[in-house]
């Protein structure tokens, strides 16, 4: 029963991956990301040993994040994909080693492992190249944020700029100054009116 439930959940994960593809096509990247994250959780829970499948999901997430120009999450997803592919490659190498030691090993299985190893090595190279391109894009756009270990709080001296700030006059003083200006203007106007024109 549990095995059947796992199969059903993995089918749901496959459907979510397809929905994410549709989401990318119609440029609904937010929904595509949500579908892929749910897909990833299901695959990690019900097929944790399938490193290649989990790597594929991380790769799809990286592609989706890149469409949103989210370079940091793109980079993180590419790195996760590479880690799972490397793990899968290690398992394949170990299996090949066992088969090569056995004289009566299944030739078909040996050939299958060799073909898959070649495929996985190619995928590692491809994902590594994509991750490198993304890292270059991060640098070009200035979004290459240093790692937390390299970010340290720096205490720089603070310049005192209080002498550059003009102090605001109190409201009472300001209105008094305005009254004086009006009074002076009125007197000037009165003088100009009462001054006789030269005959």
Domains of the chain and CATH, by start: 2-144 (1.25.40.10)
- For the chain, the C-alpha Rg in angstroms (whole number) is 36
Per-residue pLDDT tens for 141-198? 776 543 433 323 333 334 444 444 444 455 555 555 555 555 554 444 444 444 444 4
Dig out the tokens for 1 from the structure. Answer: 């029963």
Per-residue pLDDT tens for 16-59? 999 999 999 999 999 999 999 999 999 999 999 999 999 999 99
Between the two ends of the chain, the Cα-to-Cα distance in Å is 121
Mean pLDDT of the chain: 79
Per-residue pLDDT tens for 101-116? 887 778 888 899 999 9
| Residue 120 CB contacts under 8 Å (≥ 6 apart), including other chains | 52, 85, 88, 89, 92
- Tally Cβ neighbours within 10 Å of residue 176: 12
């Amino acid at each position: 029963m549990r095995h059947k439930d796992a199969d059903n959940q993995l089918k749901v994960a496959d459907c979510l991956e397809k929905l994410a593809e549709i989401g990318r096509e119609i440029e609904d990247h937010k929904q595509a990301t949500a579908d892929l994250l749910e897909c990833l959780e299901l695959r990690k829970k019900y097929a944790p040993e399938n490193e290649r499948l989990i790597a594929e999901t991380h790769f799809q997430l990286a592609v989706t994040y890149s469409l949103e120009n989210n370079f940091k999450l793109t980079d993180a997803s590419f790195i996760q994909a590479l880690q799972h592919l490397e793990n899968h490659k290690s398992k394949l190498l170990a299996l090949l080693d066992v088969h090569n030691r056995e004289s009566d090993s299944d030739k078909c299985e040996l050939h299958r492992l060799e073909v898959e190893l070649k495929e996985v090595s190619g995928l590692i190279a491809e994902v590594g190249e994509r991750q490198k391109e993304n890292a270059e894009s991060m640098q070009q756009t200035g979004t290459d944020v240093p790692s937390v270990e390299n970010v340290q709080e720096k205490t720089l001296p603070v310049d005192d700029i209080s002498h550059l700030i003009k102090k605001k006059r109190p409201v009472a003083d300001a209105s008094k100054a305005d009254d004086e200006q009006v009074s002076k203007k009125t007197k000037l106007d009165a003088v100009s009116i009462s001054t006789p024109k030269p005959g």
